[in-house]
Amino acid sequence: MGRYAASKCRKLKLSCSCSMRSGMAETYRGALDEARRLLGNCGLFRGLNIDERAAIINRARIRNFAAGERIFSIGAPGDYMAALLTGTIRITVPSPHGRELLLAILEPGELFGEIALLDGKERSADATANTSSVLAILDRHEVLSFLERNPAAWPRIVEILCDRIRHTDIAAAARAARQGNLAHRQQRSEVGGRLQAFSCSADTTRSCQHGGRNTGNRQ
């Protein structure tokens, strides 16, 4: 009876272990599917055909970060882009007073670090897991390896980058125009205020002069 119970217990543990592994594998597959969907929609790869995009995004890997864990730091090499699958990420820079200056809170579905895939330059901010987070990471060397084997894809990616630069320039020009209009309105307001003050001052002076003449006449 004891041997039977022990055997049954071992089988139960084995069954639970297999179920846990199966559940983890299913979760991982689900994360990969979501990663492929997000990375496949990345604007940087918009000019590639379906097979080319699949060849790139199938190289993505999944990584988990605990709450408070640093994802990358200022000055670190930009050697990958990522898609946030679950959790939130805090993007910050240090302030001159030693405190963190919050730039953004990234939510699930957001991508970051796309340009780092191409230029590999240093990170300009810190990224920290605000909560327990899961990222799909696409390494720079994987993308460059794909582009070396498929050089015809380069011009299409460059075209996307040029479009981004063009739109950024247009947006910057629009902001500059709005700021210029605001400055012009402020300048007009200041000039108007000065004119009004001058007018009031002149009226007061004339009133005083007129009053002085009347007083002299009375004397």
Question: Which carries the bigger pLDDT value, residue 164 or residue 94?
Answer: 94
Looking at the domain assignment, is residue 82 inside a domain?
yes
**Whole domain around residue 158: which residue ranges?**
152-219
pLDDT higher than 50, residue 205: no
Q: Are residues 177 and 138 in the same domain?
A: no
pLDDT (tens digit per residue) in 172-203 = 777 777 776 655 566 555 545 554 554 555 45
Residue carrying the six token digits 């605000």: 130
- This model's pTM is above 0.75: no
H-type alpha helices, 41-135? 50-57, 116-119
Pull the structure tokens for residue 175. 């902001």
Q: Are residues 78 and 180 in the same domain?
A: no
Q: Are residues 159 and 143 in the same domain?
A: no
Helix, strand and coil in the chain, % to nearest 5: 60, 20, 20
Taken in order 125, 136, 23, 37, the sign of the CA dihedral is positive
* Mean pLDDT value across the chain: 77
Q: Are residues 75 and 123 in the same domain?
A: yes
pLDDT higher than 70, residue 92: yes
Q: What is the CATH number of the domain that holds 46?
A: 2.60.120.10
Ranked by mean pLDDT, which of 48-52, 126-130, 199-203, 208-212 comes out on top?
126-130
Question: Which carries the bigger pLDDT value, residue 158 or residue 110?
Answer: 110
Q: What pLDDT sits at residue 148?
A: 92
Looking at the domain assignment, is residue 2 inside a domain?
no
pLDDT higher than 60, residue 14: no
Looking at the domain assignment, is residue 5 inside a domain?
no
Rounded Cα gap, residues 48 and 44, in angstroms: 9
Rounded Cα gap, residues 144 and 79, in angstroms: 11
Q: How many domains does the chain have?
A: 2
**pLDDT classification of 140: cutoffs 50, 70, 90:** very high
Taken in order 195, 199, 202, 204, the sign of the CA dihedral is negative
Range scoring the smallest mean pLDDT among 15-19, 37-41, 120-124: 15-19
Rounded Cα gap, residues 189 and 168, in angstroms: 31
